[in-house]
Amino acid sequence: MLLTTALDRNRIDTADQSILHPALRYYRRHGTDDDRMKTFYYQAVIQMNAGDYQQAVGSLLTAKEYSSDSEDFLFRGLISSALSDVYAKNYNYSEKIAHAREACGFFRQADDTLRYWNTLGWLAGYYADCDDWAKSDSLYAEFLSIPCQDSLAMARHLLNMAKVCMRRPEVDPQKGVGIFRKAVEDYNGRPSLTDYCVYAYALEMSGQGKAADDIFSKVEALGLDAKLINVWRYRVLKHRGQLKDALNMLERLIDSQDSTMILTLNQSVVRAQSDYFQAKSELAEKNRRLQVLAKWIFVLLAVIVFLGLSAVYVFSKRKWARRVGEMSAINDIVSRRLAEEQNVSSANELALGNLRREFVRAYKRQYSQLNDLCTEYWETVGSGKEKDRIYLKVKRIVSVIDGCNQRKLERMINENLNGIMKKLRCELPDATDNDFRFIALNILGFDAKTIARVMGYTVQSVYTKRVRLRSWISKLDSENKVFFLDFIG
């Protein structure tokens, strides 16, 4: 595939499909849809180089299916552009326009100005082929508004524009001659046989009949396709009023076109018959293989069912005995657990009783402290020392939560809550003193604002640290985990 890509990027055409066969075999079972998309695209390029446009359409449509979810818009544009080219070769105007428009959209998404500009020029010509002159003029105007991206491509599109000027109902020979000369002189264009015939017709319509005859004489001397020359010869003769000669020329053109059409149709019929019988043969072979495969699948299923039933019969008694033993063991475990739960329940009830009594004492201490504060205030009222006395009193009250009294604070909590701080220090060996101070303040039930003032945090930091603390404790493999979480908000 790398070789095919390199050849394509260096514009080296090859019709050797064997180059890509290893990649096709590999990517049918491996790789991504993008890999398959690119593989089938390059297969189509090789088929187009070989002139096998029917096979190329199949490969391009397969590549298009694989590209439906791709974000490689450049490659999606290349696929649509190639489809447009193939349909243009087969004169399928509606499809070549649809895919060219699609290619323009993909190239614009890929920010590929060169390919967008070039495809826009072809699309304008396609609309002219369908006699949609207004749309063609609009697209050519947009095409010309973009700076030239490639001189050879510009020359080709200008030559096409010259032909459009001479094909439309209101021919503009002066404009056609000017565009042709600009393509050749300014962009080194290489006119085709048809381009020279169009130029000769434009000269005839401009009143330069001798120059037109000179061009026709030169191209006829080359011995190239007479049909292309006669199409424009007929128009010149008709313009000159040489109706008899024009009619004879038209009859020769019709005869030539009929023979070409019959040959094309015969080739299509022969190819269609060949494809039909080949497909029929492949289908018969596929059905035979499917029948053989179905027989082997039936035999395999029968063997699997027999082995499965045998395994069930052999192991059923062993499983039953093992299950009986497991149920007995489970029964013993449940009995022990029930006894342990009863013991824990009794211990919890005792702890709850102690906690209730401690809460009563705590409420009494709070009202006692409030009473002391009121006494201090009433004794000093009017003396000007109210604030200082009350401040000292409050300072003594809150000193218990000061950092330097952390041990005293933890000892008080341990005495009232079954040694919770001591257990936490054992379970959280990596926690810092600040962490344990934060834990103690949470256990005491202080709100976030108070903890923030004491610890020097923001209120939001307190909430965040509390959530992390609960998450930390929740991950502990400890029998006290639920006990810890009950006292931490």
What pLDDT band is residue 260 in, cutting at 50, 70 and 90? very low
Q: 197 with 219: CB under 8 angstroms?
A: yes
Residue the block writes with tokens 């020979």? 173
Its pTM surpasses 0.75: no
Per-domain residue ranges of the chain: 405-487
259 burial type by CB count under 10 A (0-12 exposed, 13-18 middle, 19+ buried): exposed
Give the tokens for residue 249: 């020329």
pLDDT 10s digits, 344-361: 666 656 655 565 455 446
- In whole angstroms, give the CA distance from residue 382 to residue 18: 109
- Residue 138 CB partners (closer than 8 Å, separation 6+): none
What pLDDT band is residue 240 in, cutting at 50, 70 and 90? confident
3-state secondary structure 207-222: CCHHHHHHHHHHHHHC
Give the Å distances, CA to CA, from 286 to 277, 321, 465. Answer: 14, 52, 69
346 burial type by CB count under 10 A (0-12 exposed, 13-18 middle, 19+ buried): exposed
The per-residue pLDDT for 367 is 43
The per-residue pLDDT for 105 is 95
Measured CA angle at 253 (ends 252, 255), to 5 deg: 65
228 burial type by CB count under 10 A (0-12 exposed, 13-18 middle, 19+ buried): middle
pLDDT 10s digits, 3-20: 444 444 444 445 455 666
